[in-house]
Structure 1
């Protein structure tokens, strides 16, 4: 018995006849007998020209070996085209899924960004800013209350007290020492100015000591006073000698304050 493979390969088999050849012989006989009988008219429904040999509309018009091979070849092409189209659709779908899907790390990062955005919106909230300002103001007030306050001018009676007033003080405290000669009018004016400034700047430690008790030279006692020496953390940060000549014979607390502010000894008022 002939198999499908035998038909596809076109081998000659016993008892196998091409239907196209049979149909051709029959047509030839019919045509010949028709001519002999004088029946020239063609059967109804037949066309004037025969159909093209290579035209194929999805069904086999030729059932011979060549027709079967042509049908098989076209079937395989259609299968390959269908597979390619399916692969393209699958690839496009995979790309869309890849773009739409985020990894766990990306999800976590996105959540962090959203949290920061929410926090930033909260910071921009006017009510929150008012609360923050009040809280910050309260913190500063508490900090100022914890600072040491003096509010007066301390009199030092010896070189030892002079050194202790500087070295044993908190390193964050500014110490201003007035070296004076009680016989100089400018020194008396400076004493009055420092009393006012000690109350306006209570966190600053104002002191006074006679030039005689410091062991300074006689020349300094005459020409160097009134002198202001500023210390912080045990280090000298300002050394102002002969201020009677610098500020003039008649000066006020505001003049001394402005002078010390300009050198960064006293904090500027706002």
Structure 2
């Protein structure tokens, strides 16, 4: 039978660990120092990725540099394309030119008259002549150049009905007022510019117009062609202004299609007319 002391000692002995036992256990459980016999060699270090000659920088500077390089290549490509186009155009031009020269040389040998037709200077001269002939046929060589003063109703009728149907006739009905005097001066200038147009003037009392028309209707321009009235402008000074000049009257009639626009005359015709005037 165990005594109380044995129980006390026994309970202590269950929880008691000697220092020698602890050291024995620690010696047994501690891992051995140094390499254990029979162990394999340490594994070699992992291989570093091999550099292939290019790198990618995704930062702002790298993006800008890539964009600049792209634009440079794009510009170089555009310049190269333009140079190729220019070279091709020059080649084609030389080819066409050489073919034309060959035709001229062949024509000179086979037919001298055909060679003359292929000559540039001859073609220009021929074009001038044909343009001049067409205009002359249109106007039938109508030449006026002066403001014709009509003094009676009979002269007024003859000036219109007795003229060729292709002629344009502009008649100014006037009275002794400032606006009418400006109109007569303007028509005297225009008749020198449009020598194929017949400009006339007649006083209102000579054709028997009413007193109201004399007061409110002048200056009046009547335009006839082929015996028909194609333009009728009453008190035209209201449209042109008080101090109008010849250029104002010319612009007004051109805008209404009653006079030709001299600025639209072909260069060949204008040059030919200048040559005729110099002769």
Match of 1:193 in 2: 186
Match of 2:123 in 1: 132
RMSD over equivalenced CA pairs, Å: 2.4
TM-score (normalizing by structure 1) = 0.51
SS of residue in 2 equivalent to 1:228: strand
CA deviation digits over 1:158-190, x for unaligned, max 9?
1111011001101111000000002x1000000
CA deviation digits over 1:216-260, x for unaligned, max 9?
111111111001100011011110110121111100100000000
Selected match of 1:158 from 152, 158, 178 = 152
In 1, the alpha carbon distance for the partners of 2:207 and 2:126 equals: 48
Q: How do 1:1-270 and structure 2 match up within 5 A?
A: 127-128=118-119, 130-142=121-133, 143-144=135-136, 147-182=141-176, 184-270=177-263
TM-score (normalizing by structure 2) = 0.49
SS of residue in 1 equivalent to 2:212: helix
In 2, the alpha carbon distance for the partners of 1:146 and 1:230 equals: 19
SS of residue in 2 equivalent to 1:264: coil
In 1, the alpha carbon distance for the partners of 2:140 and 2:237 equals: 36
In 1, the alpha carbon distance for the partners of 2:171 and 2:124 equals: 37
CA deviation digits over 1:50-72, x for unaligned, max 9?
xxxxxxxxxxxxxxxxxxxxxxx
> 1:127 Cα deviation (Å)?
4.2
> 1:214 Cα deviation (Å)?
1.1
Q: Given that residues 117 and 123 in structure 2 are in contact (C-alpha distance below 8 angstroms), is that contact kept between their aligned partners in structure 1?
A: no
In 2, the alpha carbon distance for the partners of 1:138 and 1:146 equals: 16
SS of residue in 2 equivalent to 1:162: helix
SS of residue in 1 equivalent to 2:155: helix
> 5+ residue gaps in structure 2?
1-102, 108-113, 264-279
Q: Against the structure 1 CA distance between its residues 205 and 185, is the aligned structure 2 distance closer, same or farther, given a 3 Å change threshold?
A: same
CA deviation digits over 1:26-50, x for unaligned, max 9?
xxxxxxxxxxxxxxxxxxxxxxxxx
> 1:130 Cα deviation (Å)?
4.8
Match of 1:84 in 2: none
Q: How many residues align?
A: 148
- Could you list the runs of 4 or more consecutive aligned residues of structure 1 that deviate by over 6 angstroms after TM superposition? none
> 5+ residue gaps in structure 1?
1-117
